[in-house]
Structure 1
Amino acid sequence: MNSCESLEDIKPIGSLTSLTYLNLGECRKLRDIQANEKSE
């Protein structure tokens, strides 16, 4: 979890996908996913 300092900024969707990315510490990918969802 330490690999992700901006969890509060990301505000996880709460889906299994977001939790998986958080477990992998892939905050950048999680941000991209949320950005894409907001775009749509």
Structure 2
Amino acid sequence: MEQDRQLVVKSNHIIEASYRMSVAEQRVILSAITQVRRDQ
């Protein structure tokens, strides 16, 4: 059985910005990112 492997990456801009965000803010951003479809 072949698994569909998808790669998830974060840009350096997001990583650097996360140092200035609270945990709640990071969760909101990451939640929004998960809602973006690949074809958009």
TM range (shorter): 0.3 to 0.5
Relative contact order higher in (CA < 8 Å, ≥ 6 apart):
1
User: Structure 2-normalised TM-score?
Assistant: 0.41
Bigger-Rg structure (1/2): 2
User: Structure 1-normalised TM-score?
Assistant: 0.41
